[in-house]
Amino acid sequence: MITPLSWLKEYVDIDVTPQELQDKLFSCGFEVEELYEVGKDISKVVVGKVLTCEAIPETHLHVCQVDCGEHGQFQICCGADNVVAGGKFPVALVGATVYATAKDHKTVEGVMTIGKGKLRGYESHGMLCSGVELGVNENMYPGADYNGLLVLPEDAVVGADVKPMLGLDDWIFDIAITANRPDCQSIFGIAREVAAVLEKELRMPDLSYTETDAQIDDFTVTVDCPDLCPRYSAHYVTDVTIGESPLWMKRRLALVGIDAISNVVDITNYILKELGQPMHAFDLTTLEGNAIHVRRAANGEKIVTLDEQELTLNDSNMVICDGVKPVALAGVMGGLNSEIRETTSAVLFESAKFARDNIRRTSRALGKRSDSSARYEKGVDEYATVMALKRALHLIEELGCGKVGRTHADVNTGNSVEPREVKVSIERVNKCLGIVVPNEEIMKIMQNLALNPSIDGDTLTLSVPAYREDIVTYQDVAEEVIRMYGYEHVVPAFMPSAQVTIGGLNLQQKSELKLKNALCSIGAYEGIHYSFFSPTDLDLLRFPEDAPERKAIRIMNPISEELSLMRTTLAASMINAVARNQKKGNLEGRIFEIGNVFLPYELPLTRYPDEKARLCVGIFGEKESFYTMKGIAEKIAETLQVSFTYEAMQNTFLHPYQTARVLCEGKEVGYFGKLAYDIADDQDLRTPVYLMELDLKVLSAWYGKKPVFNPLPKFPEEQRDLALVVSKETTCGEIEAVMKDACKYITKISLFDIYEGEQVAADKKSMAFTVVFTPKEEAFTAESVDAFVKKILKQLDKNCGAQLRS
Amino acid sequence: MNAALEQIKQEIISGAEEVKSSKEAYEFRKKFLDGKTGKIGLLMREMKNIPPEQRADYGKGVNELKEWAMGIISELDIKMKSKELLERYEAEKIDISLPAEKSEQGNLHPITLIRNQLIDIFAGMGFEIFDGPEIETDYYNFTALNTPQDHPARDMQDTFYLSPEFLLRTQTSAGQIHVMENKKPPIKILSPGKVFRSDDDATHSPMFTQMEGLVVDKGITLCDLQGMLDVFVKKIYGENTKTRLRPSYFPFTEPSVEVDCSCFECGGKGCKLCKGTGWIEILGAGVVNDKVLENCGVDPNEYSGFAFGIGIERTAMLKYGINNIKLLFESDLRVLKQLND
């Protein structure tokens, strides 16, 4: 909320500095986001009187002797056509700062510091200034838009600072207003808070006016949709003379960034800023049928707004109609057909409360925003609605631009603009705060906030003005008390009356943290990626049309198509992360992520989807292989005290022969493998990439498994190395399975060598294993182990055609 | 003196000079001192051929020779071994300025680090950790939190909708309701998690992480909130950190406050980090609005509570001096490797 200090001072005497006021506002809940002086860029500019002014031959320049009072007399060269001896103009002294303008003398191009200069051989000690150079326009000071020097009045004191004269010593507060305080979306609303915090009197804006007998015969206002329009007030103004607004009004509008248009329109804009109530003025002569009719638009109904755009409406929009046609899009913009023109002679003022969400939806749906719709979206109160109309009529009289007629309409749904009574327990207020605020303090605060308090025993009775819709319960009162009393009075305590609770992570959270730490220990870095991904990611992974991964939840209003689907796999984000790294020259690394996938039971959603945590690991670089990834899988299994088994599998985005399904005690928990070469090429990946994705929801069944201590074997273990010749197709897994089946004493089998080449047949390979036998009931003898080996070899021969290598 | 003894002595003296390695020293020892084949050993065996009256002298001579030879040869052996050790070391001379071979240790994401740090602090105060769903209903995210359909506070957050009813949660406060519906007071929970808002610039990401705290019990007041915050900021930002409450607005708390802590960079004097104010905004909090308690079936006449919400990214960015929030979600190893805390 842009608030000029000078405007605030109309309602409150402010005897603190702007900075002190900023601090006061901050402490009571109004953060001043920006505080600046209107003329912050202007310095050392004073009133100067031109004593002599001589033309420099063959130029448009003049050389002047300028009296600057206490600052001295200077020779200044000037190119403006209105420089004249005897005139008073702003003088930027040497060292002054003013705005630099482009060649058009209008466009500001930054701030410049005035130095000594020399023009055509004449020394110049300073600069005579235009309005633009001082940041002043016609609405702030008459004559300021002239393309030449800004002419100062005859009575200006020579040598005096020009800033107060031009209003440049004013301050602007840009104040953040929280959503619960729409009543402060106006200068007067802020003034109420300033008065309360400074404990000063608040001066009401003048609402007086005199009604004449003029009236519109049989004029009616009807509201068809009181849910969207709880209050509609209108008043007739006659004998209107459209013209310019007085300087004081133009100036205030300029300070809050509004261009003056004409007196009647300026009044509506002025009230929007002053009281926070959007108003509309209809040219009465364009209204037909002596009626105002507020209704929902018909589907397909059209209106042309003030900005000459035709809009097609539907029944969720609201229109203001005369007896015949729509004349305004309610709360958003007036219709072109009823706008105020130079010829307007009679006006109907509208001051209404429209439902905030309806205006918001209409404004968004039609892409049409105005100061009025922005204000309505925050919510207006009926107190201001009623007050604003009176203020507008007062200003019509004050500006002398019309006569207030008698015709007045007020359609309402019975909401009172009178104060409400609120009773709360003082003890309850204090218990909420945890401190005891003295009753006198509470009384004082409530009085300052104009809540008309009285205390009877423990009961605080307030008479809450209609604009304070936020004060209803004891908690609301507690907030008012503490924000004015000061949060520094809150004494730190530590839940003295609370019961002891036992905190900490649950099993799932602990287990996930354990997994993360285990992955860090093998050189992987944790990444976090967006929970959404792109439809093109599904194509990247080559998912067929009917793949379950394609059944992803779509965001109705995504930031972009790339972030429009909820993830159904973490693999795509990981591939993208690896690709980003490789583009930046990181050609090797290990990344993991634990994040949710979102699997809907049906689309569109009618119940919570299956939201489950997955672990994704991406490793890349020349040192990585299928087996380093398998090692990571084993590390995970070890961390969770479970054992994984692996089966060959294929999916659409991994290498057909270097991909494994991961099973935990027989249950599928995920996959890992090498990224398919075509995808790697698509992503310009320069080193091999391996991916793993595990379903932590399934794995969570094993979370919390405690290590079980196995007593050490009583008898020594025996170990044998077996080199086997097998066909090239035989897998290590097959051999291990056969060995284990053949002898129950085997506790460990480890492959230590694979050989293919001249020493074995062309279609064969040699695999060498170390097999560990652990005795149970009794110690082994050399013969018993030999017997195991014999049996193992027999089974290997039978099942895999394996022969002991000679 | 037996000439043979003398000869061996000379042989040892001259032979010792020829020994160049510990292996030769070993051979040299064997040549003279081996019990069976060594030259001195053989001299002992000669004893039987020595006339008995000379035997004592002979034996003494041989023993003396043996003692002497053992001394010489041991010395020789030590000398050779130490020479060889030195040579071995010299042969293994390396350039210690060559790059180190590291066994790489990865690290947790800065968000996880901050999250763990906060969890540690609050778990110690008796807070349980609750993970709510990222996809929420309008009811849990807004309505139950005293933000009905047309409430102005809905404009404070740009929500991603998945259907008219389902949305991506905009705040972890949604978790409050799930907890209070399922658990009777005393409640002390911390609900960390991803939240989503349609916002995208250097300090806003459409996905970020919040941590919501909620306490509901008998007699909880604003003072308890202040007390807990004091402990929290001292633990995370240092013993001398102060807190400041100032009024704010959230639909689900009343009174609501914005919490600032004294700038941990300048100690409150004013610097670039705190934009000269000496204070840094760290979280929003307040006394739980009675309406929220009622919505969850908790009797506000019996219980009261406070809630607070911390932005984890903001905390991480302040702590590590990260200037763009996007860096947290790109998994750039050059970034992640630096944040080993």
> What is the helix (H) or strand (E) element at residue B295, kind and residue range?
helix B290-295
Q: How close is the nearest chain A Cα to the Cα of B96, in Å? A: 25
CB-nearest partner of A611 from B134, B161, B290 = B134
What phi and psi, each to the nearest 5 degrees, are found at residue A795? -65, -40
Same domain, A352 and A476: no
Instruction: Examine residue A208 and state whether it is found in any structural domain, yes or no.
Output: no
**Residue A806 pLDDT exceeds 80:** no
Q: Which residues contact A611 (CB under 8 A, 6 or more apart)?
A: A596, A597, A598, A599, B133, B134, B135
Closest B-chain CA to A228: B150
Same domain, A148 and A186: no
Buried b (16+ CB within 10 A) or exposed e, B80-95: beeeeeeeeeeeeeee
The first and second tokens of residue A46, run together, are 């004073």
**Are A487 and B245 within 8 A, CB to CB?**
yes
- Name the residue range of residue A241's domain: 220-412
Whether chain B has a CB inside 8 Å of the CB on A501: the answer is: yes
Q: B273 or A14, which is more confident? A: A14
Domain finish residue from A671, A702, A733: A702
What band does B58 get if pLDDT is binned at 50, 70 and 90?
confident
pLDDT at B265: 80
Same domain, A698 and A570: yes
CB-nearest partner of B217 from A378, A498, A554 = A498
Q: How many CB pairs under 8 A join A and B?
A: 262
Residue A532 three-state SS: strand
What phi and psi, each to the nearest 5 degrees, are found at residue A800? -125, 0
Instruction: From chain B, pick out residues whose CB is under 8 angstroms from the CB of A27.
Output: 246-247
Instruction: Examine residue A501 and state whether it is found in any structural domain, yes or no.
Output: no
pLDDT at B308: 94
Same domain, A472 and A548: no
What phi and psi, each to the nearest 5 degrees, are found at residue A646? -135, 145
**Are B186 and A498 within 8 A, CB to CB?**
yes
Whether chain A has a CB inside 8 Å of the CB on B252: the answer is: no
**Residue B287 pLDDT exceeds 70:** yes
**Residue A340 pLDDT exceeds 80:** yes
DSSP A498: P
Q: Say how many CA atoms lie within 13 Å of B339 toward its Cβ.
A: 25
**Residue A591 pLDDT exceeds 80:** yes
What band does B155 get if pLDDT is binned at 50, 70 and 90?
low
Q: How close is the nearest chain A Cα to the Cα of B97, in Å? A: 24
DSSP A544: -
The first and second tokens of residue B232, run together, are 């929290």
Taking residue B202's Cβ as centre, other Cβ atoms within 10 Å add up to 10
Instruction: Examine residue A500 and state whether it is found in any structural domain, yes or no.
Output: no
**Residue B1 pLDDT exceeds 70:** no
What torsion, rounded to 10 degrees, do the Cα atoms A144, A147, A149, A150 define?
Answer: 0
Taking residue A108's Cβ as centre, other Cβ atoms within 10 Å add up to 14
**Residue A706 pLDDT exceeds 90:** no
Best residue in A376, A425, A525, A564 for a mutation probing chain B (most B CBs within 10 Å): A525
- CA dist B287 and B303 (Å) reads 11
In the block, residue with structure tokens 């005690």: A665
Phi-psi bin for B135: left (phi > 0), alpha (psi -120 to 50), beta?
beta
Strands (E), A284-430: 291-296, 302-304, 310-312, 318-321, 326-329, 333-334, 347-353, 403-412, 420-425
If 0-12 CB within 10 Å is exposed, 13-18 middle and 19+ buried, where does residue A472 land?
middle
Do A203 and A35 contact (CB within 8 A), yes or no?
Answer: no
- CA dist B284 and B287 (Å) reads 11
**Are A580 and B106 within 8 A, CB to CB?**
no
Instruction: From chain A, pick out residues whose CB is under 8 angstroms from the CB of B245.
Output: 487, 490
Whether chain B has a CB inside 8 Å of the CB on A361: the answer is: no
pTM above 0.80, yes or no: yes
**Pairing relationship of beta strands A88-101 and B128-129 according to DSSP bridges:** unpaired
**Residue A499 pLDDT exceeds 90:** no
CB-nearest partner of A434 from B109, B188, B223 = B223
Question: Residue A326 corresponds to which amino acid?
Answer: P
Q: Is the dihedral of CA A723, A728, A729, A732 positive or negative?
A: positive
Chain A (455-474) residues lying within 8 Å, Cβ to Cβ, of chain B: 473
pLDDT at B339: 84
Q: How close is the nearest chain B Cα to the Cα of A68, in Å? A: 38
Closest A-chain CA to B149: A357
Instruction: Examine residue A60 and state whether it is found in any structural domain, yes or no.
Output: yes
Domain finish residue from A412, A447, A471: A412
**Are A581 and B337 within 8 A, CB to CB?**
no
- CA dist B43 and B38 (Å) reads 9
The first and second tokens of residue A15, run together, are 């005897």
Going by C-alpha positions, the residue among A69, A450, A433 that lies closest to residue B224 is A433
Whether chain B has a CB inside 8 Å of the CB on A521: the answer is: yes
pLDDT at B195: 95
Instruction: Examine residue A713 and state whether it is found in any structural domain, yes or no.
Output: no
The ipTM assigned to this model is 0.83
Same domain, A535 and A674: yes
Same domain, A426 and A397: no
Instruction: Examine residue A630 and state whether it is found in any structural domain, yes or no.
Output: yes
Domain finish residue from A390, A412, A434: A412
**Residue B156 pLDDT exceeds 80:** no
Going by C-alpha positions, the residue among B126, B120, B115, B252 that lies closest to residue B185 is B126
Peptide bond into A246 cis (omega under 30): no
Same domain, A522 and A594: yes
Q: Which residues contact A463 (CB under 8 A, 6 or more apart)?
A: A419, A420, A421, A451, A452
Q: What angle do CA A213, A398, A264 make, to 5 degrees?
A: 85
Least confident of A286-300, A636-650, B92-106: B92-106
pLDDT at A773: 92
CB-nearest partner of B129 from A509, A532, A558 = A509
Best residue in B117, B137, B162, B188 for a mutation probing chain A (most A CBs within 10 Å): B162
Instruction: From chain A, pick out residues whose CB is under 8 angstroms from the CB of B108.
Output: 516-517, 520, 526
Q: What is the CATH number of the domain that holds A735?
A: 3.30.70.380
DSSP B330: S
Mean pLDDT in residue range A17-28: 94
Same domain, A635 and A676: yes
**Are B304 and A493 within 8 A, CB to CB?**
no
Closest A-chain CA to B154: A179
pLDDT at B157: 64
Instruction: From chain A, pick out residues whose CB is under 8 angstroms from the CB of B184.
Output: none
* Packing angle of the helix pair A426-433, A474-485 (nearest 10 deg): 60
Closest A-chain CA to B189: A503
Do A324 and A292 contact (CB within 8 A), yes or no?
Answer: no
- Measured CA to CA in angstroms, residue A120 lies from A64, A76, A95, A681 at distances of 14, 12, 22, 70
Least confident of A265-269, A697-701, B140-144, B151-155: B151-155
The first and second tokens of residue B264, run together, are 């941990």
Do A186 and A379 contact (CB within 8 A), yes or no?
Answer: no
Do A12 and A191 contact (CB within 8 A), yes or no?
Answer: yes
Phi-psi bin for A672: left (phi > 0), alpha (psi -120 to 50), beta?
beta
Whether chain A has a CB inside 8 Å of the CB on B112: the answer is: yes
Residue A249 three-state SS: helix
Instruction: Examine residue A605 and state whether it is found in any structural domain, yes or no.
Output: yes
**Residue B152 pLDDT exceeds 70:** no
- CA dist A232 and A354 (Å) reads 8
Q: What is the CATH number of the domain that holds A116?
A: 2.40.50.140
What band does A347 get if pLDDT is binned at 50, 70 and 90?
very high
Q: How close is the nearest chain A Cα to the Cα of B200, in Å? A: 8
CB-nearest partner of A178 from B103, B217, B248 = B248
The first and second tokens of residue B62, run together, are 């041989």
What DSSP letter does each residue of B141-194 carry, written as one string? HTGGGT--TT-GGGGGS-PPBSSSSEEE-S-TTHHHHHHHHH-PSSEEEEEEEE
Do A723 and A766 contact (CB within 8 A), yes or no?
Answer: yes
What DSSP letter does each residue of A8-75 carry, written as one string? HTTTS---S-HHHHHHHHHHTT--EEEEEETTTT-EEEEEEEEEEEEEPTTSS-EEEEEE-GGG-EEE
Same domain, A546 and A604: yes
**Residue B102 pLDDT exceeds 80:** no
If 0-12 CB within 10 Å is exposed, 13-18 middle and 19+ buried, where does residue B101 land?
exposed
Same domain, A528 and A636: yes
Chain B (151-190) residues lying within 8 Å, Cβ to Cβ, of chain A: 151-153, 155-156, 160-163, 165-166, 168, 186-188, 190
Q: Which residues are paired to B285 by β-bridges?
A: B257, B308
Mean pLDDT in residue range A447-474: 94
Q: What angle do CA A401, A404, A410 make, to 5 degrees?
A: 130
Instruction: From chain A, pick out residues whose CB is under 8 angstroms from the CB of B150.
Output: 355-357
- CA dist A16 and B336 (Å) reads 50
Q: Which residues are paired to A464 by β-bridges?
A: A420
Whether chain B has a CB inside 8 Å of the CB on A497: the answer is: yes
Mean pLDDT in residue range A107-136: 92
Same domain, A373 and A428: no
Chain B (196-235) residues lying within 8 Å, Cβ to Cβ, of chain A: 196, 198, 200, 206-207, 215, 217-224, 226-228, 230-231
- CA dist A732 and A722 (Å) reads 13
**Are A27 and B246 within 8 A, CB to CB?**
yes
Question: What percentage of chain B's residues is helix, strand, coil (to nearest 5)?
Answer: 45, 20, 35
CB-nearest partner of B254 from A476, A513, A528 = A476
Q: What is the CATH number of the domain that holds A439?
A: 3.30.56.10
What band does A250 get if pLDDT is binned at 50, 70 and 90?
very high
Mean pLDDT in residue range A720-739: 91
Mean pLDDT in residue range B270-292: 89
CB-nearest partner of A528 from B111, B126, B332 = B111
Instruction: Examine residue A707 and state whether it is found in any structural domain, yes or no.
Output: no
Mean pLDDT, chain A, rounded, equals: 93
In the block, residue with structure tokens 């991916």: A691
Whether chain B has a CB inside 8 Å of the CB on A475: the answer is: yes
Whether chain B has a CB inside 8 Å of the CB on A615: the answer is: no
**Are A581 and B163 within 8 A, CB to CB?**
no
Same domain, A787 and A660: no
**Residue A540 pLDDT exceeds 90:** yes
Q: Which residues contact A665 (CB under 8 A, 6 or more apart)?
A: A642, A643, A702
What band does B320 get if pLDDT is binned at 50, 70 and 90?
confident
Instruction: From chain A, pick out residues whose CB is under 8 angstroms from the CB of B332.
Output: 580-581, 584, 586
- CA dist B104 and B333 (Å) reads 13
The first and second tokens of residue A99, run together, are 């705005």
Q: Which residues contact A633 (CB under 8 A, 6 or more apart)?
A: A644, A646, A662, A672, A692
Mean pLDDT in residue range A4-12: 96
**Are B223 and A563 within 8 A, CB to CB?**
no
**Residue A593 pLDDT exceeds 80:** yes
> What is the helix (H) or strand (E) element at residue A473, kind and residue range?
none
Best residue in A354, A495, A554, A586 for a mutation probing chain B (most B CBs within 10 Å): A495
Q: Which residues contact A60 (CB under 8 A, 6 or more apart)?
A: A79, A81
What torsion, rounded to 10 degrees, do the Cα atoms A77, A81, A82, A83 define?
Answer: 20
Instruction: From chain A, pick out residues whose CB is under 8 angstroms from the CB of B247.
Output: 27-29, 479, 482-483, 487
pLDDT at A781: 87
Number of domains in chain A: 6
**Are A181 and B249 within 8 A, CB to CB?**
yes
Question: Residue A479 corresponds to which amino acid?
Answer: E
